[in-house]
Structure 1
Amino acid sequence: MTSRIKWLAALAALVPGLALAATATGNLSVSATVSDTCTVGTSSIDFGAYNPISGSARSGTGAVKVTCTTGTPYSIELGTGANTASCSGNRCMKDASTHYLPYELYLDSGHVTVWGGADYVAGTAKVSQTGTGAEQTHDLYGGIAASQNVPAGSYSDTVTITISY
């Protein structure tokens, strides 16, 4: 080799990118499965002080808060409550003894459409919606009829909320 060729070979080895390199390529697969899913929360109804001899009904407002995967259709049904067997199939709150105070839950503030479900009386309604990925709030309205003859005490009930999706 002549000194000139040796000198060019040495120079090429010192300069990055001038050396010959081989490359290979490939593909990486990436995937995910997004499932339909929903969560539920509530804002309770507190009717406050009910006076059975005043002749006045009592109203309260609460909410069902649902978060479902975007595009997931869902429906909300409300059960009859824990005390319905003792109240002829109606919703009612119970005190610490054996006294019951009937009430109802509605879809509308005018207390026209009862919010029910499959395990409740005929003629009730449920809410159907499509998830957005964000929390969706569905107001619910409660009512206690006027002049119900019940003893003084603290009354409560627990209603099961079912989200079908």
Structure 2
Amino acid sequence: MKYLLSLSILALPLSAHALLATCTVSATGITFPAYTSPGGATADSTGDIAVTCTATLVIGTGSYTIALNAGSGTFVNRTLKSGANALTYNVYTDSARSIVWGDGTGVTQTESDSYLILLTPTTRHYTPYGRIPAAQNKPAGTYTDTLTVTITY
């Protein structure tokens, strides 16, 4: 059996305002390759989170933190769902897929960055690394989950 798998990363139409800058966030979800069950191999894929900041008053330095919620599961076992069926997966901050991207609680870490705020927009991209562990025995279907991106600065 093969699955169509997709993870949406929801970047709310968010504009955060600070004294020095306005920042917006956009995201491209993770689309996993087809997963074969039973006994499918590990499935890896990536997405993109883009943060764009523009100075509103003066040029200076700033920083922000990017957090992801747990979606429909927990940070230990996020779940892609198809009706009542679920595949476990997770999202990581690193290509080795060893650091769970979350809200900074428990085993999770957030992404943080500092930048020079300019009068012209500056965009930085961050890669969420997704992984579905091997050998999950689930029926065929379209499995999805939605994560929310939160930018704090």
Same topology, TM > 0.5: yes
Deviation at 1:89, TM superposition (A): 6.3
The equivalent residue for 2:148 is: 160
Q: Which runs of 4+ in 1 moved over 4 A?
A: none
Cα RMSD for the two superposed structures: 2.1
SS in 2 for 1:156: strand
Instruction: Choose between structure 1 and 2 for higher RCO, CA contacts under 8 A separated by at least 6 residues.
Output: 2
- 1:93: how far off? 0.9
* Shift in Å, 1:158: 0.4
Percent identity between the aligned chains? 38
Residue 89 to residue 134, structure 1, CA distance change in 2 (3 Å): same
Compared CA separation, residues 134 and 41, structure 1 to 2 (3 A): same
Give the whole-Å Cα distance in 2 for the aligned partners of 1:76 and 1:34: 19
Unaligned runs of 5+ in 2: 1-17, 56-60
How far apart are the structure 2 equivalents of 1:104 and 1:123?
A: 12
Is 1:38 the equivalent of 2:23? yes
Structure showing greater Rg: 1
Q: Which runs of 5+ in 1 are unaligned?
A: 1-32
How many corresponding residue pairs? 127
Point out the structure with the larger strand share: 2
Deviations 1:7-64 (CA, angstroms, capped at 9, x unpaired): xxxxxxxxxxxxxxxxxxxxxxxxxx96432100112110021113244100001111
1:105 to 91, 94, 99: 91
Greater fraction of residues in helix: 1
